[in-house]
Amino acid sequence: MKQSKPEESYSRILEETLQLKMLLSKQAKYYSVARLLVFLLIIVAGYLAITNSSVYWIISVGFLAAFIWLMIRHIKVLEKQKFTDACIEAVKQELEACREDYSSFDGCASFSDSFHHYAPDLDIFGNFSICQMLNRTVSPAGSKILAEWLKNSLTKADEIYKRRDAIKELAELPEWRLKFRALGMTADEAPEDLKSFYDWLETPALFQKRMFGIILLLAPLVSLSVLVLLISGILSIQLFILYLFIPLAVTGLYTKRIGQRHMMLSRKTSLLYKYARRFAMVENENFSSDLLNEFSYRLKPQGFSAGKSISQLGRITSSLDTRLNFLAGFVLNVLLLWDIRQMRRLEEWQSKHRSYLPVWFNTLAETDALTGMAAFTYSKPDFIFPVINTSGFGLKAADAGHPLIPAHERVNNHINLNGSGSFNIITGANMAGKSTYLRTIGVNLILALNGCPVCASSFECYPAGVFTSLRTTDSLSASQSYFFAELLRLKELIDRLKSGEQLYILLDEILKGTNSADKQAGSKALLTQLIQMKASGFIATHDLELGKLADVFPGLVVNNSFEAEIINDTLHFDYKLKPGIARNMNATFLMKQMGITIGSN
């Protein structure tokens, strides 16, 4: 079977990355062995220096410098290995996505809302969901942005096209996307990390008074002078020890408050550096789309650079982390008032950058969300970008299918909703495809209104909201019956229409929770009211009588159906939409197949 373009591209990237992993593995072994040998040479040189000649101390120092260099190089190689492993995992997941397996991605089930006006009905969140199909986010903020986009689709054509252009551009940058994602995967960001960071931004400054600037300037000069006096014999060891208590006492006055602030940033150096590299990727890429250029502009306000600024914060935080080493912290605080010095640097950084940080991290989260949509786009070369038509309400599509149904199983159909006040009534047998057809319409609309490609050969829609009532359930906790819950849902629909909203309405079997006579009368009354309110949409039903409204509203109500056939005592479906009202029903046949007796004795 011939590979598609995305699979070929990802397979090539995977092969190159696996080769790089082998090379890095060899380098890591080399540095590990070299470090061990140099360490042994340090011991030998130290022994010779003690037993033979002091010249070996110089050699020992040389070996120590070589050991430190090797250690730094080894750490860098190990970091590259971790990044490479993340790249390999990301590429493998994209190859699975090309084969329509999205199980490696998070469906963001925590963002599910059972009262949302379409998310539960259209499987937006959870396993085997639209979010899982799109989601490649590696940050909690990115997941939240993606979820908000999917729950609040765009209804302005210029915004849809703006996001679409950004998705298109990122889709053609697979290596950039994989690197961006791999950096996030290695960061291991937790939901509380960013909150802790924002909490620190709001803490008041402690060390910005001029007095502290003078003290920090004098501290190393005084400490150096005291050391010179001690070495020269002018100062006694007792007085030197007494002096040590002075800088320690100054630092000790603020230890608790420094510790509280440090906890908000402690051990986040690696995360900050990963942030910095991702910021730099957005800043430094020469994008052509308006939205991505806007992102780049946001990250470089008034001569600042998000990437460089966050990297600087990482260096300061790393310096403050030295206080976690008791011996190093003791020496540095005695000589340099280290904790206060680093806190002052942090406060200066905080003062300069506080107003920019929320914009920077929101931009990073939006980029995180966009890369997933772009990866989905790249993996679906047979999907098309829809036309957003603002000249009048309507929806037309050819060969539209549900994107979560595998291509070899999917049956595509046309969609046609012609203007305001028009409804398609979809009748048909059980399991013939009515509900899937409604979800196909809804899901493709959500994709279209988010700037994503859709599963169709052509797709043209007006930018409007989507409202569904496909899976209404009762609520024991709220003491609501099924019927009352459905009425509340329909009331919400009427209220939104009265407020002037334009909506694509998707209803499956109206008023299921009441008897047949009430259901039929209520359904006709509701549909009549919706048409009179110039509302439009699709209604799936078993009630063939509802189709007679086409005679009452000619040109506004259109009947379509899904048929079932019984051939050789076996039920057959072709899942193809046909004009007119359904002729064949299958409930009785299915009951007989289950061994349920039908009819009298």
Other C-beta atoms within 10 Å of 467: how many?
Answer: 22
Q: Within a domain: residue 488?
A: yes
Q: Indicate if 195 and 261 belong to the same structural domain.
A: yes
In a domain, residue 130? The reply is: no
337 and 445 assigned to the same domain: no
Task: Determine phi and psi for 558, rounding to 5 degrees.
Answer: -120, 135
Give the global pTM. Answer: 0.89
Would you state the structure tokens that stand for residue 225, as one six-digit string? 């002078």
Closest CA to 398 of 460, 461, 458: 458
Residue 88 and residue 194 share a domain: no
Indicate whether 356 and 207 sit together in one domain: yes
pLDDT band at 476 (very low <50, low <70, confident <90, very high): very low
Residue 164 is assigned to a structural domain of this protein = no
Mean pLDDT over 348-352 rounds to 93
> What is the DSSP secondary structure assignment for residue 302, as one 8-state letter?
G
441 and 478 in a single domain? The answer is yes
The encoded tokens of residue 470 equal 């496909």
Quick one: 82 and 218 in the same domain?
no
**163 part of a folded domain:** no
**595 confidence band (pLDDT: 50, 70, 90):** low
Give, as one character, the DSSP assignment of residue 546: G
> CA 227 to CA 335: how far, in whole Å?
10
Q: Are residues 413 and 337 in the same domain?
A: no
Contacts 24+ apart (CB under 8 A), 564-568: 564/428, 564/429, 564/430, 564/431, 564/432
Domain end among 56, 74, 99:
99
For 209-255, write each residue's pLDDT tens digit: 999 889 898 888 888 888 888 888 888 888 888 888 888 888 888 98
Specify the number of domains making up the chain: 3
Are 206 and 263 in the same domain?
yes
Tell me if 125 sits within 8 A of 131, measured CB to CB: yes
Domain membership of residue 127 (yes or no) is no
Query: Residue holding tokens 């949509």?
Result: 373
Is the domain of 442 the same as that of 572? yes
User: Under a CB-based contact definition with an 8 Å cutoff, are residues 146 and 153 in contact?
Assistant: no
What's the rounded Cα separation, in Å, for the pair 192 and 200? Answer: 12
On whether both 299 and 206 belong to a single domain, the answer is yes
Question: Of 68, 99, 130, which closes a domain?
Answer: 99
* Domain CATH number, residue 586: 3.40.50.300
In a domain, 160, yes or no: no
Angle of CA points 531, 534, 535, to nearest 5°: 75
pLDDT tens-digit series, residues 426-448: 988 777 889 999 999 999 999 99
Average pLDDT over residues 332-356: 91
DSSP notation for 88-117: HHHHHHHHHHHTT--TTS---GGG--TTSS
pLDDT in tens, 500-544: 999 999 999 887 656 667 778 888 889 999 999 999 999 998 888
Give the DSSP H or E segment for 417.
strand 413-418
**Domain extent for 273:** 184-369
Same domain flag for 240 and 362: yes
Question: Is residue 31 pLDDT above 90, yes or no?
Answer: yes
Q: Assign 274 to helix, strand or coil.
A: helix
**Contact call for residues 557 and 577 (beta carbons, < 8 A):** no
Structural domain ending residue among the three candidates 336, 369, 402: 369
- Helix and strand numbers (H, E) in the chain are 21, 12
Domain check: are 359 and 399 in the same one?
A: no
